[in-house]
Chains A and B, each alone.
Chain A
Amino acid sequence: MPFIPHTEPDVREMLAAIGVEAIDELFDEIAPELRTGQLDAIPEGLPEMAVTRLMHERARAEGDMLCMTGAGAYPHHIPQAIWQLVGRGEYYSAYTPYQAEASQGTLQVTYEFQSMMAALTATEVANASLYDGASALGEATLMAVRANRKAKSKRILLPRSVHPRYRAVAGTVVGNQGLELVELPLDVETGRTPLESVDSAGAEGAAAVVVPQPNFPGCLEDVDALVDRAHAAGALVIAVVNPTSLALLRPPGEWGERGADIVVGEGQPLGIPLSAGGPYFGFLCTRKAMARQMPGRVVGRTVDTQGRTGYVMTLRAREQDIRRSKATSNICTNQGLMVTAATLYMALMGAEGLERVARHSHAGAVALRAALAELDGVEPVFDGPLFHEFAVRLDGPPVAEVLDGLAARGILGGFALEPDYPELGNSLLLCTTELHTEADRAAYVKALRELVAG
């Protein structure tokens, strides 16, 4: 029997010890009319070798494309050591470290992760992860409403330049809690959030203003000015950042006079495979003074009865298993194994490696934008500074057709912006990372030239 070790004598003797004749008697408290009949829609079980063959067939049907699409999920090199270690049973098959003394591995890894994330974002503390970047933004808006006791409203200013899916998820998460998400416009000339919109949309009295960097269309916001305006109006600032970019760009803890108050983002670029969209992990960092308002688990350092250093889950009185309906969030299971991978990634890359990744990603995008600007019928939508993504507008064939054409040439060729941003017209969001070579970029330019020229 798959995964069940019982022999016939085992079953017989166990039933005798219980005092029943058959396993089915153990279900005799369940009304007979509720019992399940045949489960016809479920196939017969397969041995491992057959399921292996099946999954290899399914995998082959996926193909293998050159990926130039980012839009919230980024292909990066993942050192081999990471997933070999993450796959160790001691990490893979352990659970939440409720028994701290028997979970020092997971707990110390989490503590190191929190240390690395705090360093990267230039903040004081980090939690042990949320589901993904988008749900982390939703949780951050709820946290801001709890933390900003002076705010007269539950209003959150949310720029249009934030990832459309993040805005959608934040809407789902907070929809029934009376929060008001007010959209800030996108300046179609600069690709940035207009500074004055922060005031005109009602920062005064708002609980928080969200500031993305880089923003979804690939531009760099004037973060200092946005943060200072928000703070002047009494609002907190929630930064949404790409962790790789922080090797090059100013960390949110240093934006403006006082820095962002809550920092969230998608952790996937830190050693997590694209994997069709998950599992990834969301990170959330903040000031120590606001740590008690954080959602999710947090690990702290302490000592044992002998004075030796050890680690435990702490600030537990925020969590649902203790506080029930008064918890800061309903989150229980988080993305622990992904955090283990990200910790290994940051340990192996270090500041030097992360900076190289960021520089290559950036340089590739700058070069590709310049090369595409030379093509007839293609123009960059914005000309300001970028990190590793940028938008181009196509004259002529609709983006959807061009993407199909690129796919036929084995290229996942970008993200169509028009459905979410009609104001940007027939345009496409592209991304490069350290994985892309000059030949990859040249192949993309060549393919696009053929398709746009028609």
Chain B
Amino acid sequence: MGLHETGKVIFDYGREGRAAGAQLPPPAPEPSDLPDTLRRRGRPALPEVSELQAVRHYTRLSQKNFSIDTNFYPLGSCTMKHNPRACNALAMLPQFLGRHPLAPPGAGQGFLACMHELQEILAEVTGMRRVSLAPAAGAQGEFAGVSMIRAYHDARGDHERTEILVPDAAHGTNPASAVMCGYRVRELPTDRNGDVDLDALRAAVGPQTAGIMLTNPSTVGVFERHISEIATIVHDAGGLLYYDGANLNAILGKVRPGDMGFDVIHLNLHKTFSTPHGGGGPGAGPVGVRETLLPYLPIPIVTHEGGRYRWLEEADCPHSIGRMTAFAGNAGVLLRAYVYIRMLGQEGMVRVGEYSTLNANYLMHRLQAEGFELAFPRRRASHEFIVTLKREHDAYGGTAMDFAKRMLDYGVHAPTMYFPLLVPECLLIEPTETETREEIDAFVDILVAIREEASRDPEILHEAPHTLPVRRLDEVRAAKELHLRWSPETG
């Protein structure tokens, strides 16, 4: 037992009357002009700690996290690549941090110049006509994209289109976003090679089809080979194609969504363009469109006219689907992506697609050679691939969850588990291009070692992790007791 045992929250370090003195403004008099009925009566229960106590507590908490900076993090579909420090430092120059969102264009052109170039570069690398940087995350980009599909059909008086097609293996955000745009979702099956089932697609399209949402390479880790046929089928039925950019990293610089026939796309800058994941966000989810959808792009958008940059807003874009956030989206994240893109350049972008694909295929072949079962053994990996541990589960009783938890003991973050749902006991593994071959080889050794442990003593896996700050946590109890906050009365 010590002063810092596990389980202490910041509030536990407080003492009445203690404060981080230097960080506070000087004392201020009681306001006299606020009516009593509007005044707060008691003080909120916030911590009363010194600067050192806060710094120490949050430093120690940080050490309980796995992160890219500290661990191999092959979390499939999340693209946990290195986050270059220059991107962070240069986006945090004081003039950028101090820029008020409502500052007039004349107050500073530097930020707007970066945003304009970012729009242009993203449009070029995706093959789209124009890009809006407004959406704050991938899911908001999906929402914006599907809203544009809806605006397009509405503008044509085509109100019978009530359905969005989504493959059964899609990210959950796809159906959820379609519903937020007022659509019904119709799921499409995946064939045994990982492609969309074309017969099912032909049977599903019709005058009710507003569009299809596709991720390519898909969420099962392979490139959708029939993409041109899919585009023809959906377009012939009067629907539009939406591209979920979650897996763009695999094909960056190699194939463009615009050339595949997509009408509208979103990008995850926190995946492909290396902005930090931040423990859950912030991300950024710019959207790009073909000519036909131009009028509907979300605002604001930066334009360059007569040598000056300015925002296009409501008056300039009367048919826009509107604003996504109060101001200009996650501007600081956009700046980080801009710096990253300028460092990569056109050659660097092509290499992202190439080396993320090389690493994934190498890792896939090494695991296959070690006897692990692949979900789609006859396919190339994209930047990720699926291993199924069904055989190990049947033989030793260890689940994909057990394998994943045991990996934590070996110091690697677990891959994505149990997604997509159609492959049993699966791990979706994405090494990214910034990992060395040695790191990938070490990961193979770890999986082999864990399988050996499973065959010898499956309890080691069941009870993992053994070496982390906590052992396996009771999620059922968390949901049942619903303890969502500390309070002075109950702790």
- Distance between Cα atoms of A89 and B92 in the complex (Å): 16
Given A19-B365, A90-B62, A91-B65, decide whether A300 and B121 contact each other with a Cβ distance below 8 A. no
Instruction: Give the chain A neighbours of B365 by CB distance below 8 A.
Output: 17-19
Determine whether A335 belongs to the interface, using a CB cutoff of 8 Å to chain B. yes
> Which secondary structure dominates chain B's binding surface?
loop
Closest to A94 in B: B67
Contact partner of B408 among A1, A102, A111, A224, CB < 8 A?
A102
Contact partner of A61 among B10, B108, B413, CB < 8 A?
B108
Given A176-B182, A351-B44, decide whether A333 and B65 contact each other with a Cβ distance below 8 A. no
Contact string against A for B residues 284-317, beta-carbon threshold 8 Å, 1 for contact and 0 otherwise = 0000000000000010000000000000001000
Contact partner of A35 among B24, B124, B254, B341, CB < 8 A?
B254
A-B complex: 3 closest residue pairs judged by Cβ atoms? A45-B345, A277-B327, A89-B69
Contact partner of B47 among A62, A251, A350, CB < 8 A?
A350
Closest beta carbon of chain A to B189's beta carbon, Å: 15
Closest to B369 in A: A17
Contact string against B for A residues 105-143, beta-carbon threshold 8 Å, 1 for contact and 0 otherwise = 110111110111011101011101101111100000000
Given A51-B342, A310-B470, decide whether A330 and B27 contact each other with a Cβ distance below 8 A. no
Q: Can you report 28 residue pairs joining A to B where beta carbons are below 8 Å apart?
A: A3-B84, A10-B437, A30-B255, A54-B342, A58-B114, A61-B109, A62-B95, A83-B92, A96-B277, A103-B66, A120-B46, A249-B39, A278-B331, A279-B331, A288-B484, A300-B484, A302-B473, A302-B478, A305-B471, A308-B6, A310-B473, A314-B482, A325-B178, A330-B139, A330-B180, A332-B139, A336-B279, A359-B30
Contacting pair A348 B380 (CB below 8 A)? no
Closest beta carbon of chain A to B460's beta carbon, Å: 14
Contact partner of A36 among B259, B270, B329, B331, CB < 8 A?
B259
B49, B136, B179: which has the most chain A beta carbons within 10 Å?
B136
- Distance between Cα atoms of A354 and B256 in the complex (Å): 50
Closest beta carbon of chain B to A319's beta carbon, Å: 8
Interface-facing stretch out of B75-83, B196-204, B386-394, B449-457 = B75-83
Determine whether A447 belongs to the interface, using a CB cutoff of 8 Å to chain B. no
Instruction: Give the chain A neighbours of B225 by CB distance below 8 A.
Output: 29-31
> Which B244-260 residues have C-beta < 8 A from chain A?
251, 253-256, 259-260
- Distance between Cα atoms of A219 and B359 in the complex (Å): 59
Contact partner of B348 among A45, A275, A276, A288, CB < 8 A?
A45
Instruction: Give the chain A neighbours of B324 by CB distance below 8 A.
Output: 131, 135, 169, 172
Given A42-B346, A106-B65, A299-B484, decide whether A322 and B125 contact each other with a Cβ distance below 8 A. no
Determine whether B3 belongs to the interface, using a CB cutoff of 8 Å to chain A. no
Determine whether A352 belongs to the interface, using a CB cutoff of 8 Å to chain B. yes
Instruction: Give the chain B neighbours of A91 by CB distance below 8 A.
Output: 62, 65, 67, 278-279
- Distance between Cα atoms of A262 and B276 in the complex (Å): 31
Contacting pair B121 A41 (CB below 8 A)? yes
Instruction: Give the chain B neighbours of A200 by CB distance below 8 A.
Output: none
Closest beta carbon of chain B to A171's beta carbon, Å: 6
Instruction: Give the chain B neighbours of A10 by CB distance below 8 A.
Output: 436-437
Given A99-B414, A102-B468, A276-B111, decide whether A325 and B175 contact each other with a Cβ distance below 8 A. yes
Contacting pair A102 B137 (CB below 8 A)? no
Given A64-B95, A73-B101, decide whether A312 and B343 contact each other with a Cβ distance below 8 A. no
> Which B6-38 residues have C-beta < 8 A from chain A?
6-7, 9-11, 14, 19-20, 23-31, 33-35, 37-38
Determine whether B96 belongs to the interface, using a CB cutoff of 8 Å to chain A. yes
Contacting pair B102 A415 (CB below 8 A)? yes
Closest beta carbon of chain A to B377's beta carbon, Å: 13
Contacting pair A26 B358 (CB below 8 A)? yes
Determine whether B232 belongs to the interface, using a CB cutoff of 8 Å to chain A. no
Contact partner of A278 among B73, B113, B333, B404, CB < 8 A?
B333
Contact partner of B471 among A43, A87, A108, A306, CB < 8 A?
A306
Instruction: Give the chain B neighbours of A316 by CB distance below 8 A.
Output: 475, 479
Determine whether A340 belongs to the interface, using a CB cutoff of 8 Å to chain B. yes
Per the CB 8 Å criterion, the residue count for chain B at the interface is 204
Instruction: Give the chain A neighbours of B379 by CB distance below 8 A.
Output: 29
Closest beta carbon of chain A to B292's beta carbon, Å: 19
Instruction: Give the chain B neighbours of A314 by CB distance below 8 A.
Output: 475, 478-479, 482, 484
Instruction: Give the chain B neighbours of A2 by CB distance below 8 A.
Output: 343-344, 348
Contact string against A for B residues 348-360, beta-carbon threshold 8 Å, 1 for contact and 0 otherwise = 1111101101110
Contact partner of A44 among B70, B171, B270, B346, CB < 8 A?
B346
Determine whether B120 belongs to the interface, using a CB cutoff of 8 Å to chain A. yes
Contacting pair A77 B25 (CB below 8 A)? yes
Contacting pair A302 B19 (CB below 8 A)? no
Determine whether B211 belongs to the interface, using a CB cutoff of 8 Å to chain A. no
Instruction: Give the chain B neighbours of A246 by CB distance below 8 A.
Output: 40, 44
Contacting pair B172 A327 (CB below 8 A)? yes
> Which A14-28 residues have C-beta < 8 A from chain B?
14-15, 17-19, 23-24, 26-28
Given A43-B346, A105-B62, decide whether A407 and B106 contact each other with a Cβ distance below 8 A. yes
- Distance between Cα atoms of A63 and B103 in the complex (Å): 11
Given A5-B435, A23-B358, A339-B280, list of 7 further CB < 8 A pairs?
A: A28-B380, A29-B225, A36-B255, A45-B345, A355-B43, A359-B30, A412-B100
Interface-facing stretch out of A147-155, A183-191, A360-368, A374-382 = A360-368
Contacting pair A363 B31 (CB below 8 A)? yes
- Distance between Cα atoms of A314 and B485 in the complex (Å): 12
Contacting pair A320 B331 (CB below 8 A)? no
Determine whether B361 belongs to the interface, using a CB cutoff of 8 Å to chain A. yes
- Distance between Cα atoms of A11 and B437 in the complex (Å): 9
Contacting pair A276 B468 (CB below 8 A)? no
Closest beta carbon of chain B to A318's beta carbon, Å: 11
Closest to B170 in A: A324
Contact partner of A176 among B99, B147, B341, CB < 8 A?
B147
Instruction: Give the chain B neighbours of A47 by CB distance below 8 A.
Output: 343
Instruction: Give the chain A neighbours of B323 by CB distance below 8 A.
Output: 134, 165, 168-169, 172
